[in-house]
Homo-oligomer: A and B are copies of this chain.
Amino acid sequence: MNLHDRATVVDGLQISNWSRPVLEELRAGGVSAVNATCAVWENAADTLRSIGQWLELANRNPDLVFLAKTGDDIDLAKQQNKVAVFLGFQNASPFEDDYRYVEAFHRLGVRIGQLTYNNQNLLGSGCFEAQDAGLTRYGRVIVTEMNRVGMLIDLSHVGHRTSREAIEESADPVAITHSNPLWFFDSPRNKPDEVIRALVDRGGVIGCCLYPTVSGGEHVTLRSFCEMVRRMAEQYGAAHIGIGSDCTRGWNQEFVGWLRNGRWKPTDPQHAPSWPQWPAWFKGPSDFPQLTEGLSAAGLDDQTITAILGGNWSRLFSEVMDVVKEPANV
């Protein structure tokens, strides 16, 4: 059995249009677990609908997928040749203005929550705002509540100051599920050393991201991407590096307009956003084996590669999620 098949692979984020064929792409790529986005701009009611769709998809494909509750479910999925889906939010919009929704959505299966998505919201600033005033009063309450119930905090699309303050506020280690260092590619979505360093110092994990607009577009090479991973492992410690592909399988062109503009801004039909081109060596989750080969070619040893492909996410997910969250009898 080759290294990729032996490894337990976890993808730090995908925002695909989920269906059996898309899930089969993950299995074909040897991916045992994924943080699957189920809300970006949706409010609580919209998100309930979205989770209902996930329940149905999981119920219809029990041979292929299940909704994960704990970090231990990753190993279970690997053993059973299934995909453990960790439902995740890319925005705090489903929490609206009610901190009690954190526990409610946790009960519904949500295990990962990004604090902001590009824009300022009730919790803090997104990474595309010109000014970042940091974590808000409500943002601090939500961080504490996410810690309590065992929901992993994600800072990928969060502003730098809000990110630093959330790392400091959180009792648990946090994640950047899908971003790269600024030195690799200059984008507001990527992170300065001070943010990554603070996250690593508190035990967090950053997922190196293949999405073209944060990795360098269709011309980024497997070699340069894997060199980045190797250098990050040296700089921050291999225990703090993961992969977050940010795959967007199965969507039409309209969806990228929804991601960028939601309902907060009209999309100009003359300049409607379109999906970026992915590099030839990574078109989707079925290409994960190539990434493993690239990491080997970059000189990383098997143990380090196994940790980066999934071991580090497993450790972090278990540390945050496998907690007793309810009082009384549970």
- Mark A residues whose CB is within 8 Å of B: 44-45, 48-49, 51-53, 55-56, 58-59, 62, 65-67, 69, 73, 76-77, 80, 82, 98, 100-101, 103-104, 107-109, 326-330
Nearest 7 CB-CB pairings of A with B? A66-B328, A52-B100, A62-B327, A45-B45, A62-B328, A55-B103, A66-B329
Q: Is the CB of B59 within 8 A of A327?
A: yes
A32 CB to closest chain B CB (Å) equals 12
Instruction: State the CA gap A101–B76 with chains docked (Å).
Output: 27
Q: Is the CB of A329 within 8 A of B80?
A: yes
When all copies of this chain in the complex are counted, the total is 2
A51, A82, A327 — most chain B CB neighbours (10 Å): A327
A45, A73, A76, A80 — most chain B CB neighbours (10 Å): A45
Q: Is the CB of A49 within 8 A of B98?
A: yes
Given A48-B48, A98-B49, A101-B52, A58 and B107 touching (CB < 8 A)? no
Instruction: State the CA gap A66–B330 with chains docked (Å).
Output: 9
Chain A, interface SS category: helix
A45 contact set on B, CB distance < 8 A = 44-45, 48
Q: Which residue of B lies closest to A98 (CB)?
A: B52
Instruction: State the CA gap A261–B107 with chains docked (Å).
Output: 32
Q: What are 26 A-B interface contacts by the 8 Å CB criterion?
A: A44-B48, A45-B45, A45-B48, A48-B101, A48-B104, A49-B98, A51-B104, A52-B100, A52-B103, A53-B100, A55-B100, A55-B104, A59-B103, A59-B326, A59-B327, A62-B327, A62-B328, A66-B326, A67-B326, A69-B330, A73-B329, A80-B329, A104-B108, A107-B108, A107-B109, A108-B108
A48 contact set on B, CB distance < 8 A = 44-45, 48, 101, 104
Instruction: State the CA gap A49–B98 with chains docked (Å).
Output: 8
A69 contact set on B, CB distance < 8 A = 330
Instruction: State the CA gap A133–B58 with chains docked (Å).
Output: 35
A52 contact set on B, CB distance < 8 A = 98, 100-101, 103-104
Instruction: State the CA gap A58–B66 with chains docked (Å).
Output: 29
Q: Which residue of B lies closest to A68 (CB)?
A: B329
A56, A100, A103 — most chain B CB neighbours (10 Å): A100
Instruction: State the CA gap A297–B80 with chains docked (Å).
Output: 60
A66 contact set on B, CB distance < 8 A = 326-330
Q: Which residue of B lies closest to A47 (CB)?
A: B48
Other than A49-B98, A107-B109, give 4 A-B pairs with Cβ distance below 8 A.
A48-B101, A52-B100, A59-B326, A66-B329
Given A104-B55, A108-B107, A82 and B44 touching (CB < 8 A)? no
Q: Is the CB of B104 within 8 A of A329?
A: no
A55 contact set on B, CB distance < 8 A = 100, 103-104
A67, A109, A328 — most chain B CB neighbours (10 Å): A328
A82 contact set on B, CB distance < 8 A = 328
Given A44-B48, A108-B107, A109-B107, A329 and B76 touching (CB < 8 A)? yes
A44 contact set on B, CB distance < 8 A = 45, 48
